[in-house]
């Protein structure tokens, strides 16, 4: 994955931005990261949780950086392209680690049959099966879209690039949002 993020040949060609708008669906899709951060803050407003607030601000940071790279400076030389690439790697790693650990994919809680999340004990088996399905589907969708967007640049296919990169911008935030909604549902009901 690092090679895709760090490949300097993956900068969008200048001739692809002739009809580009800062308020196009493609440009605004980057801001879904920010939207996700604000939704996480809202979902955890009643009982603020330190780690969720940090995660929310990470999402907001990534949304701003992604918009600057993929929207405002699309096809132009900018430091935001490198910041976006490195930030994306770090954000993806941190959030994947958190989600895979809580879902039980990365860490085994089966011997206890319970998982502690924000001081709430949750029945492990039902929750983790649902979280695993949600994560596998959501993350597979996200990474396939990312891979296809990079391949479309290499194949000089402008339409497919904008389509799949927009879908990449929707996949990871929606997967995260689903993750938080599932956890809160299990904690509150």
User: What's the pLDDT tens digit per position in 102-114?
Assistant: 766 655 444 444 4
User: What's the pLDDT tens digit per position in 2-24?
Assistant: 444 444 545 677 777 756 666 68
| Statement: the pTM of the whole predicted model exceeds 0.85 | no
- Range with the largest mean pLDDT of 78-82, 95-99, 101-105, 176-180: 78-82
Q: Among the residues of the chain, which ranges form H helices?
A: 2-6, 25-29, 32-43, 50-67, 79-102, 124-154, 158-188
Q: Which residue has the higher pLDDT, 189 or 130?
A: 130
| CA–CA distances in Å: residue 47 to residues 118, 133, 176 | 9, 27, 19
Asked if 173 contacts 40 with a C-beta cutoff of 8 angstroms, the reply is no
Q: 29: exposed, middle or buried (C-beta count within 10 Å: 0-12, 13-18, 19+)?
A: buried
- Domain map (residue ranges) of the chain: 22-188
**Model pLDDT, residue 116:** 47
User: What's the pLDDT tens digit per position in 35-88?
Assistant: 989 988 887 765 556 777 888 899 999 999 999 988 888 878 889 989 998 998
Write the DSSP string, 74-120.
Answer: TTS--HHHHHHHHHHHHHHHHHHHHHHHHTTSSS--TTTTEEEETTE
């Amino acid at each position: 994955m690092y090679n895709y993020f760090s490949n300097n040949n993956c900068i969008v060609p200048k001739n692809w931005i002739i009809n580009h708008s800062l308020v196009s669906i493609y440009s605004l899709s980057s801001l879904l990261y920010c939207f996700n951060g604000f939704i996480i803050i809202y979902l955890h407003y009643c009982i603020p949780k330190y780690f969720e607030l940090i995660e929310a601000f990470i999402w907001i940071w990534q949304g701003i950086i992604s918009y600057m790279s993929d929207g405002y400076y699309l096809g132009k030389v900018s430091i935001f392209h490198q910041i976006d690439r490195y930030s994306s790697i770090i954000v993806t790693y941190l959030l994947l680690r958190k989600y895979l650990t809580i879902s039980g994919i990365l860490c085994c809680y089966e011997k206890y049959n319970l998982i502690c999340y924000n001081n709430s004990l949750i029945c492990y088996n039902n929750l983790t099966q649902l979280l695993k399905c949600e994560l596998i589907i959501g993350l597979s969708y996200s990474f396939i879209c990312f891979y296809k967007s990079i391949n479309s640049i290499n194949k000089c296919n402008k339409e497919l690039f904008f389509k799949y990169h927009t879908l990449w911008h929707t996949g990871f935030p929606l997967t995260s949002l689903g993750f938080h909604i599932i956890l809160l549902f299990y904690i509150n009901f």
